[in-house]
Structure 1
């Protein structure tokens, strides 16, 4: 039995060739159309341009929104904000531009995104503004020394 199995197995290994999922022409069509194999199954047309397919709702999910040409989309953090104390006094005025540059009381501070929020510090104050605007009462400031905190409101 081994006399026949080993030669047959060796012949099968030599005859077997690598399988390629797509050919070069199809790959180029996918690149030019902005489609993937999955979006093509959902209706993305490989014979159209990226712009036409994006307009039809088949934008590449791995492309950042700014690069996809949606310049009219704005960061949810942009605008004027006011940090208030429990008594209603203004603790800080915050301005955030479309590129997420942050100014607290007119002084620019570094900001970072963390868990869907924008966080930044000025001295002992830590400010957190949520990116999901459906969340209410989640925009807060906290004084790490005094242990006080309060809401941040959009103007």
Structure 2
């Protein structure tokens, strides 16, 4: 009897189908919502659209646009505390930066992208979940203000 149990157990274990982490319906929900399994645990809602989740700060750049692998890419506007436009900023997928149509050098530093135009230093946070962390400063004039994505 013991001889029959061991081979039967081995056959039973080998014949079981593999378990998958997610099913097809869940995978489609993740794709349509722009969420990942990790971002879902952080609050990304798989029942909302990509646009709604992006507005809430949840983006998946690799899934949204495979050519855009940087969180900095897009059109940005630097505003004064009074609300007037200080500069318009464009950043492409290769992290090339233009301020008011003029190409400037940029560097990554401590999770941010920093660049300078004249006396103004611009700092854009790489983690798009962090709100109100993009800013500009003019140390000579002693002014600063927010940078917002359009």
TM-score range, shorter chain: 0.5 to 0.7
Matched, 1:92 2:87: yes
CA distance in 2, matches of 1:117, 1:95: 16
**TM norm structure 2:** 0.55
Q: For residue 113 of structure 1, what is the aligned residue in structure 2?
A: 108
Q: Which runs of 5+ in 2 are unaligned?
A: 1-64
Equivalent residue in structure 2 for 1:142, among 124, 137, 142: 137
Once the two structures are TM-superposed, the CA of residue 74 in structure 1 deviates from its matched residue by 1.9
CA distance in 2, matches of 1:89, 1:73: 29
Alpha-carbon deviations, 1:90-121, whole Å to 9, x = none? 00000000000000000000000000000000
Bigger radius of gyration, 1 or 2?
1
Matched, 1:151 2:146: yes
Equivalent residue in structure 2 for 1:75, among 62, 67, 70: 70
Change (3 A) 1:138 1:123: same
Once the two structures are TM-superposed, the CA of residue 144 in structure 1 deviates from its matched residue by 1.6
Matches of residues 5-154 of structure 1 in structure 2 within 5 Å? 71-72=66-67, 74-154=69-149
Q: Which runs of 5+ in 1 are unaligned?
A: 1-69
Alpha-carbon deviations, 1:41-77, whole Å to 9, x = none? xxxxxxxxxxxxxxxxxxxxxxxxxxxxx94452000
Aligned length, in residue pairs: 86
CA distance in 2, matches of 1:71, 1:127: 26
CA distance in 2, matches of 1:122, 1:72: 27
**TM norm structure 1:** 0.54
Point out 4+ residue stretches in structure 1 off by more than 6 angstroms: none
